[in-house]
Amino acid sequence: MPADAKVEEGPVEIAKGTVIGKKWKILRKLGEGGCGAVYLVEQTETKRQAALKAESNFVEDGSVLKIEVDILGRLKGRKHVAELIHSGKKAKFQYMVMSLLGESLNNLLKKAGKQCSMSTQLRVGIHVLHGLKQVHDAGFIHRDIKPANLAMGNRNGGTDPAIVHILDFGLNREYIIKDDTDNGYKMRKPRKLALFRGIIRYCSVSTHEKNEQVRPDDLWSLLYVMVELRGKLPWSHFKEKKDLAEEKRAMPDIKLLVNSPQQLT
C-alpha cells in the first residue's frame, strides 16, 4: 500500500446504474461485509445477470478478493463453485464478476423453521462433499465452511438451482505448492502453530488447538453444518471459545448425531 494511501473504512459503494468493465451495469447491492460488497449486475448487451464483488484497493490487511480470483480461476469448470466471468481493477477498488447464485443455506434454513428433513440433510451433505473434493483436488483447504457460504444455483444466472455451491474463498490456504522436483508439486509443510481461521461454531477441535488445518478439518465443518440442518448444535449457546471447544471434545457421536441417520454414527 502506498505510504500516503488512505485506508478505506467500510465496504465499497458503487452507485446504481454504474457500468463496470464497459459492460456490467450495477442493478442493486446484494450484501456487504468488511471492505467488500456484492452487487447484482447485468451484461449490457445480453442482459445476463451476474454477481459483482468489489473490494477497496486500500485494505489494511491485504486483498482477499485477489486470492478469490486466483482460486476461482483454478477451479474453472467445477460443478459446485461459481464461475469466474471477469475481473479488473479501478482507481479505488478491484472487482470480480462471477455467476449469480441463489439463496444461501443459512437463509433457506431460516425459512424451513431451522430444521429440514433427513433426506435434505443427506443431499446437501453429498453435494458439499463433492464440492470440497473439487476444492481439495485444486490444492486448497477452504477453512470457512458454514451455511452462509453454501448456496443453491440460480437459473437467471446460468447456474443449476438443484446444485449446492461453495462460496467465499478468502480464507482458503494452499496445501499443495509448486516444487522443483520431477513431480513439480509437493505438500506444504505444516506450521507448528497456526493462527485461528474460520468460525468457532463450525470449526474442528484441531482448529481450536491452532493446528495447521488439513482436509479433514473441512469435513468436520461439513459434519457440524449437517447436524445443524436437523436442529441446534449442542454448543450453539456457548459464547466463550474455550467452553465451546471443551463441549466439542466431550460430545459423544451418538448424542451429536441424534437427529441424523444412524449410519453417520
Domain ranges, ordered by start, for the chain: 19-99, 102-264
pLDDT at 4: 38
pLDDT at 7: 43
pLDDT at 97: 97
pLDDT at 10: 58
Question: 166 φ, ψ to 5°?
Answer: -95, 135
Give the residue among 28, 25, 32, 29 at the shortest CA–CA distance from 10.
32
- In sequence order, the 6+-apart residues with CB closer than 8 A to the CB of 243 are 235
Distance from C-alpha of 178 to C-alpha of 227, rounded to nearest angstrom: 37
At 143, list the grid cell: 477453512
Q: List, for the chain, all residue ranges whose pLDDT scores fall below the cut of 70.
A: 1-10, 34-35, 61-62, 182
3-state secondary structure the chain: CCCCCCCCCCCCCCCCCCEECCCEEEEEEEEEECCEEEEEEEECCCCCEEEEEEEECCCCCCCCHHHHHHHHHHCCCCCCECCEEEEEECCCEEEEEEECEEEEHHHHHHHCCCCCCHHHHHHHHHHHHHHHHHHHHCCEECCCCCHHHEEEECHHHCCCCCCEEECCCCCCEECEEECCCCCCEEECCCCCCCCCCCCCCCCCHHHHCCCCCCHHHHHHHHHHHHHHCCCCCCCCCCCCHHHHHHHHHHCCHHHHCCCCCHHHC
**What is the fold, at CATH topology level, of the domain defined by 102-264?**
Transferase(Phosphotransferase); domain 1 (1.10.510)
**Hey, do 19-99 and 102-264 end up sharing a CATH topology, with the first three levels equal?**
no
pLDDT at 34: 61
**What is the fold, at CATH topology level, of the domain defined by 19-99?**
Phosphorylase Kinase; domain 1 (3.30.200)
pLDDT at 58: 84
Catalytic (active site) residue 144: yes
Instruction: Provide the 10 A C-beta neighbour count for residue 48.
Output: 17
Catalytic residue (choose from 144, 168, 217, 218): 144
